[in-house]
Structures are given as C-alpha cells and as structure tokens.
C-alpha cells in the first residue's frame, strides 16, 4: 500500500487548512512559522474577538497592538512585522484583493510572495496550496523528517530538492497535495517526533531507519 493511502486509512480525511477564508489561511501561515498550531489558534481568536481579521482592519492596526494580539503564537514582534509586510503587499500593492494576489501563473504568484519579507518557501507554498487551491506540495519539518527516516532523502535535504521529489512522483492535484501534506503533519505530530514513537506508527513496517 502507498504511503498516502496508509496514512489516510489510519488518520482519515483531514480537510485542511483550518481557516474560514483564504485571508485567514494566509495569516495562519505566517503565525504558524515554527510554532504549535494550538498557539496560533489563540492568536487568531484574539484577532477575531477584536474584529480585525480583515485585510484593511489588520493593515491599519499599529505594530504594538498587533503584537499584543498575536502574542500567544510566539515570536510576536517578528511575526507582527512579517504580517505587516504581507498586509502592505496585499492592501497597498493589490488593493486588498486576495484574488489579485493569486492571479496568474503559479510560478509568478510564488515569486511575488517570496519577494515579501518574512515569507519563505514553506509559507508561500502553504498560501498557494491552501488559500489559492493551486497544486504545489508544501514541505515542512515533519515531511523532511519522515521521508529522511524512510530513506527517500538525506536528513538535511534542501527544500527545493525534496519538493521536486514529491512533485515528480505524486500527480499534480491540489486536493491530493492538500490531503497528503495534512496527513504527514498528523504523522509527525503523533509518531515521527525527534524521539520517534514507532510502536503504533502506521508506517512502522516501511521505516527501516526509524532509529536515525
């Protein structure tokens, strides 16, 4: 059985991303950088409670106030600055239109997002896949750890290389990429931690390198 099918059988459909609108997905993508999603939810709930989870309202919020609201997500000063860079790109350069941000070819959209300070490859790809529904495979720390332990790549494989591995071997389908990445995160959270819990892991029999 293929890895994706095995994970789907074990965890069930994930129906990602946890966010009500494409804009909320983009905000979440920045806030979740190197951070537990539970903490991000607290920050997003703060923004909702203050009724500022919209491009214009968030754009007009001063740095200090924004930083306080997103404090639970950690790195709040840096993330406030990164959010404001994205909001400036969205509101000042694209009229506050998420549709306009994601208009055009995938490669061009990605390049424009990567030019925004604070948006790196994973954050850009998360936005493109989960907010825009365009087919690009998101690579994160879990994906690298899981596939290096399975023996498909080196532990320190580059983002570009492992993404190429997926895009070459998995059919280009946004719904499939969405589900696959979400399932990998579930596996990472529950089993493939820095200290792996291999006993009940659904990939246990496939993973000869579980101890590395």
Partner DNA sequence: GGCCAGGACACCA
Partner DNA sequence: TGGTGTCATGGC
Footprint of DNA (CB under 7 A): 16-18, 28-29, 32-39, 42, 71-72, 74-79, 117-124, 126, 130, 140-142, 156, 159, 185, 188-189, 193-195
Q: How far is the CB of 91 from DNA (least distance, A)?
A: 19
Question: Which C-beta is closer to DNA: that of 58 or that of 126?
Answer: 126
Question: Which C-beta is closer to DNA: that of 56 or that of 155?
Answer: 155
The count of C-alpha atoms lying within 13 angstroms of the C-alpha of 103, restricted to the half-sphere facing its C-beta, is 8
Q: How far is the CB of 168 from DNA (least distance, A)?
A: 21
Q: How far is the CB of 140 from DNA (least distance, A)?
A: 4
**Closest by CA position to 87, among listed 108, 116, 107, 65:** 116
The answer to whether 114 and 121 are in contact (CB under 8 A) is yes
Give the other-Cβ count within 10 Å of 101's Cβ. 26
- 81: tokens are 């600055």
Q: Between the CA atoms of 103, 18, 39 and 125, what dihedral angle is there, to the nearest 10 degrees?
A: -30
- 181: tokens are 């990445």
Question: Which C-beta is closer to DNA: that of 45 or that of 97?
Answer: 45
Q: How far is the CB of 25 from DNA (least distance, A)?
A: 8
Question: Which C-beta is closer to DNA: that of 1 or that of 65?
Answer: 65
Orientation angle between helical segments 159-169 and 141-149, nearest 10 degrees: 70
């Amino acid at each position: 059985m293929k890895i994706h099918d095995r994970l789907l059988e074990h965890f069930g459909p994930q129906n990602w991303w946890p966010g009500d609108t494409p804009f909320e997905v983009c905000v979440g993508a920045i806030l979740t950088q190197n951070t537990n999603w539970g903490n991000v939810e607290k920050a997003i709930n703060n923004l909702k409670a203050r009724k500022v989870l919209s491009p214009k309202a968030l754009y007009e919020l001063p740095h200090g106030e924004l930083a306080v609201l997103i404090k639970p997500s950690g790195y709040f000063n840096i993330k406030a600055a990164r959010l404001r860079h994205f909001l400036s790109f969205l509101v000042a350069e694209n009229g506050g239109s998420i549709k306009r941000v994601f208009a055009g070819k995938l490669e061009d959209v990605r390049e424009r997002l990567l030019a925004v300070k604070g948006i790196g490859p994973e954050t850009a790809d998360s936005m493109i896949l989960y907010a825009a529904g365009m087919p690009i495979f998101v690579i994160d720390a879990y994906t690298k750890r899981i596939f290096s332990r399975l023996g498909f790549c080196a532990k320190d494989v580059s983002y570009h290389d492992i993404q190429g591995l997926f895009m070459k071997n998995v059919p280009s389908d946004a719904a499939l990429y969405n589900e696959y990445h979400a399932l990998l995160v579930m596996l990472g959270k529950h089993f493939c931690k820095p200290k792996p819990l291999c006993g009940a892991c659904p990939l246990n029999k496939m993973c000869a390198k579980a101890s590395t």
